[in-house]
Amino acid sequence: MTSRFLLTTALAATVALPAAAQELRFFNVFDATATALWEPVLAAYAEATGTSVVSESIAGSGAAVYPDVLRTSVASGSPPDVFFMWGGTIAQPFIDAGQVREISDLYAQYGWNDRFPPWIIARLKQPDGSIYGVPFKARGMGLWYKKALFEEFGLTEPTTYAELEQICTKLAEAGKYCASFGGQFGWHTMRLVDYFLEDTCGPEVHDAINARAQTWDQPCVVDAFARLKAWVDNKWLVPDFLGVAPADSRMPMYLDNAAMVYEGGWFENVLAGDGQNPADYAFFLPPTASGRYHAFPEQWMIPAETANAEAAGAYLDWVTNGETHMAYRATFEGSVSDGYSPDCAAFPHACAWTEILTSDRGTYPPTDQAFEKELIDGFFEAQDGVVAGLMTPEAAAALIQSYVEQYDQRG
């Protein structure tokens, strides 16, 4: 394996040779921990190829702010050479504006179609088959819980929504909250609503309403919001959470006041960073009849205007290569590149996620990757209204539909 890795590195060096001593800027959302993990990776690439890759991180509020910073950079004529992006509609405005390079040629050149699970590539493709991003990681999301709390109350991971309700009932009777959310930006609460939608609407209808091929003011959407209302009314959720930042919502779980949080595979590192022992926690996929789960790809993109497209392609080939990922396993936790396997002894949760993400199991996207930003804010308004008791589930479903119609009308 080492020889193959060296060969790959040498190949990257060969490709990048004409651009030796050049510099690539890459935008990302790495926090301090991730930045530290990436430093040796970038140093190794610079040493192997002579191409210095400068990381410019905009960490903090996730998809709420990062695209703005990127947009400003692109619009000002000073785009990075490579940038991180989530999938779906978060990336779409950049693609529609012609600001991202179409990279089918790089897929063919580097054989990327064989490097990643088909569902991830399918999720990144445009309806016309064009593709603008190469997968960085695949992320699945589920309910993480503190094992000791489950053991204390004799709880086991649910296999149906009814069982999940029973867990929440038991916890509420014991004076514990079932789950904790931070509603400040809307997307954290959305994860719970998305799960309800998947279970009440089923995969076909859920996909159809996300694609705006069916209306939102239908009974299954009302049922999903009715569940949200029930979770609030039954005090299964830590109260007054709409103004709480998502990162701050973990505190009730750490303090044993709440049993679960809805987070992704990255949460193992977050737990370690927050001084928790990841071994004290476990996760399960919120049970649905279809068996589908919440997942989305993260990707790298190349701006159309970069003068270093060739070097950027070579860098992306190196940085998405399973061999590279094996050399820096902790950095690439969450990778689904062929040839990568997580360090299961050090990162047991990441190991479990990789198994899920590379399986044939179906996935559904978070609504903020299915809806344009303007629409998703309407969705957040509806869910916040239900949580605050200012809106009935019927009114919430109708409000989203009205926003969809206004949006479609404007074109």
Partner 1 sequence: MTLADSRATRARPRASAARQRRQRVLAAVRPWLFLAPALSLYLVFLVLPMLFTLYMSFFSWDGLSPLSERVFVGLGNYVRAFAEDDVSRRAFVNNLYWTAGAVIIPTVIGLLLAVALNSLTAVNRLLRTIYYAPAVLPLVAVGLIWGWMYNPNFGAVNLFLRWVGLDGLAGGWLSSHTMALPATFFTYVWSHVGFPMILYLAGLQSIPRELYEAARIDGASRWHCFRHITLPGLMETHVIVLSLAVINGFKVFDLIYTMTYGGPGRSTHVLGTWMYFQTFQYYEAGYGAALAWIIAAIVLVVAVPYIRRMSRD
Which among 142, 140, 145 is positioned nearest to 281, based on CA atoms? 145
Q: Is 379 exposed, middle or buried (0-12, 13-18, 19+ CB in 10 A)?
A: buried
Please identify, using beta-carbon distances, which residue of 90 and 197 lies nearer to partner 1: 90
Please identify, using beta-carbon distances, which residue of 186 and 297 lies nearer to partner 1: 186
Alpha-carbon gap, residue 263 to 246, rounded angstroms: 10
Alpha-carbon gap, residue 63 to 82, rounded angstroms: 17
User: What is the maximum span of the chain, computed from C-alpha positions, in angstroms?
Assistant: 68
Task: Give the tokens for residue 113.
Answer: 């179609």
Checking DSSP bridges between strand 133-146 and strand 52-57, what pairing results, if any? Answer: unpaired
Task: Give the tokens for residue 337.
Answer: 């590149």
Alpha-carbon gap, residue 233 to 360, rounded angstroms: 37
Q: Which residues bind partner 1 (CB under 8 A)?
A: 64, 67-68, 71-72, 74-75, 93-94, 96-99, 183-186, 238-245, 248, 251-252, 257, 372-374, 377, 380-381, 384-385, 387-388, 390
Question: Tokens 């086991």 sit at which residue?
Answer: 156
Checking DSSP bridges between strand 133-146 and strand 258-264, what pairing results, if any? Answer: antiparallel
Please identify, using beta-carbon distances, which residue of 39 and 408 lies nearer to partner 1: 408
Alpha-carbon gap, residue 342 to 329, rounded angstroms: 6
Residue type, 382: A
Give the Å distances, CA to CA, from 260 to 18, 147, 392, 397: 52, 10, 26, 27
At closest approach, how far in Å is the CB of 108 from partner 1? 28
Please identify, using beta-carbon distances, which residue of 244 and 301 lies nearer to partner 1: 244
DSSP 314: H
Question: Can you tell me whether residue 205 is helix, strand or coil?
Answer: helix
Please identify, using beta-carbon distances, which residue of 34 and 237 lies nearer to partner 1: 237
Please identify, using beta-carbon distances, which residue of 261 and 336 lies nearer to partner 1: 261
Element (H, E) at 86: strand 82-86
Q: Which residues pair with 288 in a beta bridge?
A: none
